[in-house]
Structure 1
Amino acid sequence: MADIVSRIESVINATVVNQNSVGGGCIAQSQIIVANDGNEYFLKQGFNNDLFRKEANGLIELEKCGALRTPKVISVDSDYLLLEKISSGVKTSDFFRDFGELLAKLHRYRGPQFGFYEDNYIGSTPQINTCASNTCTDWPQFYFNKRLLYQFRLCEQNGYVDPVFASTFNKLEAKISSILEWENEPPSLLHGDLWGGNYMVDEKGKPALIDPAVYYGHREADLAMTKLFGGFHPDFYQSYHESYPLKPGYEYRENIYLLYHVMNHLNIFGTSYKHQALQLMNSYL
């Protein structure tokens, strides 16, 4: 930690005078650090690979579209990520209406193909975004191969796949094209991991996004993820639909997008998520 602090001090051109640990995540260790010039920063550490660099690149990508606020990247290395500290505030009365409208604006920011220029992470699990020879143009195939099949193979490696699970997944594979047959919109910029713990209320009472798993995909995937743990306020969804209406059948497709995250939770946290994964698959069978 002393080495990280000394490197940070050279970046911010100030001395770190206080470090306070904060909660809020199950992946990285987080702190608020205070410099002798009065500035505060948010520091993440606890890994020594490319996870923090990939998170930084995702935040930079989200910032490009000028929709929802994200913490600015101050400095990043293999073992830390230093961000602007966004102070927490109280929601405005229009918080969720603003949030829905701004997410719709983010989703109107387009990419040339599905995926991203690099692979990154969903939680601590690798998220595969790259395709050979720029072939990421078919959303159902991208979503099945790079999202569901990848997680299924991790489930196999982790010992969670029994004959029932395997048979159910194989039946789902045969239906994936029909489930997603109307998903023909161009690739939208997605946060990628949009649940209640990955947005915050800033000092002005406005929404801000944190902890992304960015890629370009179908916007319904972001909206489905918001419902994994109970969903957001109804004003959020109403405002989004008014700003950028979804195509008919989006409710039917929600479970296929939730399945990716539930399988990821199965791989990270264990068998308590296996029954939910089977339920989601069986909803299409």
Structure 2
Amino acid sequence: MQVPEHLFWEALQELTGGTPRSVSYLPVSGGSINKCFQIRTDAHYFFLKWQDAAAYPDLLKKEATGLELLRQHFKGYIPEVLHRDADEQHEVLIMEWIHSGKQDEMAFTTLGEQLASMHLQQGGAFGLDHDNYMGALEQQNQACTDFPSFYITRRLEPLIKKAVDTGVLSSNSHRQLERLGRRLPEMVPDEFPSLIHGDLWSGNVMVNNRQEPVLIDPAVAWSHRECDIAMTALFGGFPDAFYSAYQNTY
């Protein structure tokens, strides 16, 4: 596999203070739609991901924007974006390498407190000033004044249409989801818009070697805070300490 060095070689030289004496690329896990590597030079480590620029236009640019927005509002650790570039074939992103620590109860207690603190910050409307992605799914983020309208028109309806068009959902399932959408205003607590990570399952939480929680791969929006809490329940969920700390802080 040919690494698209032409998109980051000059940046790598700047990051390392000159031409590295040796450079290697070690494949690492990092998602199903990106190719992810650890860049090793003689004295530095970096995280590199790249993707097909035509398949998901500006996906990594929007990831970098989401990380910066989290950095402004989240009290925990957000990886620093060091370089991003693209051509007609590839889009690349270089970030600092996170040296992993232990995902223990204390780290998740801290994460619960930090997430609650972020959710307490009030936004002006539900949405975002640009569309983005959650994984490979495009997210529409045009602003709405209330959460039910945002969730129905920007989340449920685009997904329902995509699922029906591709044959994943039957027309009957489509009607059931439409009925759910109409009931949403009476089902969801009325709250102000909070900045959410948007894809907060356990695979998008790390702990660094200073035992600080680290958030990666965001799908940010100003939305209902319980979207983040609901996502934490997927794929095994988070430890009880996380939920206790969140409730005690919010």
State TM-score, norm by structure 1.
0.79
Aligned to 2:18: 14
Q: Give the secondary-structure state (helix, strand or coil) at the position aligned to 1:143.
A: helix
Query: What's the CA shift for 1:5?
Result: 4.0
Match of 2:163 among 140, 155, 158: 155
Contact 2:74 2:114 in 1 (8 A): no
Q: Give the secondary-structure state (helix, strand or coil) at the position aligned to 2:158.
A: helix
Aligned to 2:240: 234
Contact 1:91 1:206 in 2 (8 A): no
Query: What's the CA shift for 1:98?
Result: 1.0
Match of 1:45 among 50, 57, 65: 50
Query: What's the CA shift for 1:10?
Result: 4.8
Note closer, same or farther for the CA distance 1:231–1:166 as it changes in structure 2 (3 Å cut).
same
Task: Tell me the C-alpha RMSD between the 2 structures.
Answer: 1.6
Match of 2:179 among 171, 177, 197: 171
Match of 2:93 among 40, 59, 81: 81
Percent identity for Structure 1 against Structure 2: 37
Q: Give the secondary-structure state (helix, strand or coil) at the position aligned to 1:62.
A: helix
In proportion to residue count, which structure has more helix? 1
The answer to whether residue 214 in structure 2 is matched with residue 208 in structure 1 is yes
Contact 1:120 1:128 in 2 (8 A): yes
Query: What's the CA shift for 1:89?
Result: 1.1
Note closer, same or farther for the CA distance 1:2–1:97 as it changes in structure 2 (3 Å cut).
closer
Match of 1:116 among 128, 132, 142: 128
Contact 1:40 1:85 in 2 (8 A): yes
Q: Whole-Å Cα distance in 2 between the matches of residues 90 and 192 of structure 1?
A: 24
* Cα deviation digits, residues 66-93 of structure 1 (max 9, x gap): 4121101111123101111111012355
Contact 1:33 1:42 in 2 (8 A): yes
Q: Whole-Å Cα distance in 2 between the matches of residues 21 and 122 of structure 1?
A: 23
Query: What's the CA shift for 1:174?
Result: 2.4
Aligned to 1:29: 35
Q: Give the secondary-structure state (helix, strand or coil) at the position aligned to 1:126.
A: strand
Q: Whole-Å Cα distance in 1 between the matches of residues 121 and 40 of structure 2?
A: 35
Aligned to 1:55: 63
Amino acid at match of 1:201: V
Contact 2:101 2:211 in 1 (8 A): yes
Q: Whole-Å Cα distance in 2 between the matches of residues 27 and 109 of structure 1?
A: 32
Q: Whole-Å Cα distance in 1 between the matches of residues 19 and 166 of structure 2?
A: 45
Amino acid at match of 1:22: V
Amino acid at match of 2:11: I
Contact 1:122 1:193 in 2 (8 A): yes
* Cα deviation digits, residues 26-60 of structure 1 (max 9, x gap): 12111111234x12111110231200000000000
Contact 2:124 2:193 in 1 (8 A): yes
Q: Whole-Å Cα distance in 2 between the matches of residues 5 and 124 of structure 1?
A: 24
Q: Give the secondary-structure state (helix, strand or coil) at the position aligned to 2:222.
A: strand
Note closer, same or farther for the CA distance 1:15–1:92 as it changes in structure 2 (3 Å cut).
farther
Q: Whole-Å Cα distance in 1 between the matches of residues 80 and 58 of structure 2?
A: 18
Match of 1:106 among 102, 107, 118: 118
* Cα deviation digits, residues 167-196 of structure 1 (max 9, x gap): 21122122122112x32x221111000001
Query: What's the CA shift for 1:11?
Result: 4.5
Aligned to 1:186: 192
Query: What's the CA shift for 1:109?
Result: 2.6
Aligned to 1:198: 204
Unmatched 5+ residue regions in structure 1?
245-285
State TM-score, norm by structure 2.
0.89
Q: Whole-Å Cα distance in 1 between the matches of residues 122 and 13 of structure 2?
A: 37
